Amino acid sequence: MKLRLKPYDLQLRHAFTLAESSRTITPSMLIEIEFDGIVGYGEASMPPYLGESYETATRFLESLDLGQFSDPFRLDEILEYVDGVATGNCAAKASVDIALHDLLGKIMQKPWYKIWGFKAEDTPDSSLTIGIDSDDVVRQKVKEAEGFNILKVKLGRESDKQMIETIRSMTDVPLSVDINQGWKDRVQALETTWWLEEMGVIFVEQPMPKELVDDIAWLTQKSPLPIIADEGIQRLKDLKRVQGVYSGINIKLMKCTGMREAHKMLTLARALDMKVMIGCMTETSCAVTAAAQLAPKVDWADLDGNLLISNDPFTGMQITDGKVSLIDQPGIGIKLR
């Protein structure tokens, strides 16, 4: 197996503003793994808060010796090797995982959702993200979101209620909110969740800093809305630790090293009777379409990362009438433009 890599800056359509940061570009590493003339595509999206960069991803990926494996179907063995080469580097590891899944699916001539036994018609609606911004820009973003059946609103600042009221002046579609750890006081957080329920919000993502475990557990117990972990969970090993602290989890390939571990997290979360959301970073259609292979088995999807950029080099998963629409193509289901 041969691995090739290429740095690629994702250009965002709007400034992406969260509770604690804002950016207009997300660095990404696009990779190819070739075996017997067949190429699998992968991606590492690296928003700054993940702690990865072109430098770290290049160093990690160039340290791999995939040539030692003569059979790409030994997926567990290969990915266990990749995971053990160095700690961290989860997005870089995810790029290898995605490319291997794409490669194997192409060899088998099957899309991964079918290999896993999932049905394309079982996919949920996907939300479209509305970042923190001025009233005028928020209204523009809501107009651009026409056709989506749920919107995800970034909150975590003093403008929270104004953001929701501005959106509600234009649409009555259900909302989810992502606080990105922005709330600090649990009593005020609880009061806000009751208000958000009245405003048609259906769940709250990562309301408080992940370190405030007792406060989050208290909020989850008393909240009228499900409380979903994002920054509070990363990999499979973290899942049992957050049981009882959150109502559910947001699985992202860039956090958990890719499709193989994401599938395991989905299975365990269901066994623990927890809600499951499949999410993404700002990504090309490569990583978003890879994540979408899990969509038929989740409660909620937030697979809009490719729609937030202006220079997507791939085509893949689509949002049709607000719903995740999987493509019956081998591998993860993407093509180069």
178-203: per-residue pLDDT in tens?
999 999 999 999 999 999 999 999 99
22 has which bridge partners? 17
99 burial level (CB within 10 Å; 0-12, 13-18, 19+):
buried
CA 176, chain centre distance (Å): 15
**% of the chain beyond a pLDDT of 90:** 92
Q: To 10 degrees, the CA torsion angle through 308, 311, 317, 323? A: 30
Do the first three CATH levels of 2-109 and 114-336 match, i.e. the same topology? no
pLDDT of residue 307: 92
CATH class of 114-336: alpha beta
pLDDT tens digits, one per residue of 72-110: 999 999 999 999 999 999 999 999 999 999 999 999 999
- For the stretch 126-176, pLDDT in tens is 999 998 888 999 999 999 999 999 999 999 998 899 999 999 999 999 999
Given a cut of 90, whether residue 50 has pLDDT beyond it is no
Q: Where are the domains of the chain?
A: 2-109, 114-336
Identify the pLDDT of residue 302: 96
Give alpha helix (H) positions in the chain: 54-63, 75-85, 90-108, 112-115, 135-144, 160-168, 186-198, 213-222, 239-242, 253-256, 259-271, 285-292
For residue 110, give every residue at least 6 positions away whose Cβ sits within 8 Å of its Cβ, in sequence order, or none. 330
Residue 215 has pLDDT above 70, yes or no: yes
Q: Given the structure tokens 């009061």, which residue do they identify? A: 191
Expressed in angstroms, the distance from the first to the final Cα of the chain is 24
- Rounded CA separation 302/244 (Å): 23
Q: Which residues pair with 65 in a beta bridge?
A: none
* Cα 324 to Cα 229: distance, rounded to the nearest angstrom: 22
Residues 105, 330: contact at Cβ < 8 Å? Answer: yes
- At residue 131, the pLDDT reads 87
Would you state the pLDDT for residue 21?
A: 66
10 Å CB burial of residue 202 (0-12, 13-18, 19+) is middle
CA distances to 71, 74, 100, 280 from 38, rounded to whole Å, are 13, 16, 11, 27
Helix orientation angle between 75-85 and 259-271, rounded to the nearest 10 degrees:
100
Average pLDDT, the chain: 95
Q: Output the six-digit token pair for 43.
A: 């991606």
Residue 23: the pLDDT is: 77
The CATH T-level fold of domain 2-109 is Enolase-like; domain 1 (3.30.390)
Q: How far apart are CA 285 and CA 282, in angstroms?
A: 10
pTM of the model: 0.94
Report CA 116 to chain centroid distance, whole Å.
19
pLDDT at 18 over 70: no
Question: Pick from 195, 250, 211: which is nearest to 227 by CA?
Answer: 250
pLDDT of residue 20: 63
Q: Report, as an integer, the average pLDDT of 220-240.
A: 97
